[in-house]
Copies of this chain bind each other. A is one copy, B any other.
């Protein structure tokens, strides 16, 4: 649509948002809770009326940084190995809010019965909508909603 300064600013926004999105999954792969927390809106930026919101696949809504962090700790405790291959990643920026949608192709494994061994790896497909807000500290995650893909859908549909 636009090729001038506005177009360039928009491209830079999209790039920054995609980097923030990528940082979430890399932090999860490393099992780095602090890095995950840093991707999310901080207590200072998230207002006290609700703040951050998170829905893991099959879970109810979690609200607030404390609940969200606790949920990641729980997931990491039960996950020995996790890798995300993101596909179908799309970002749309609207003012100070950005919406990223992506498919998380997940390969993960829990603990094995045998000490020092990895349990069986399982694959899974999750679709996520990740909502970011622009802050002085960069784009921060306001809401994450991931859900399991159970149907193939109308993948041959074209708009």
Contacts and interface: CB of A to CB of B under 8 A. Distances in A.
Oligomeric state, in number of copies?
Answer: 2
16 contacts: A50-B92, A55-B127, A55-B129, A55-B147, A60-B153, A60-B155, A62-B153, A63-B90, A65-B159, A70-B154, A71-B154, A95-B96, A99-B131, A129-B143, A131-B131, A145-B145
Instruction: Say which size band chain A's interface belongs to.
Output: 35 or more
Interface in A34-75: 47-50, 53, 55, 57-67, 70-71
Nearest to A98: B97
B129 A129 contact: yes
A149 B60 CA distance: 6
A157 interface: yes
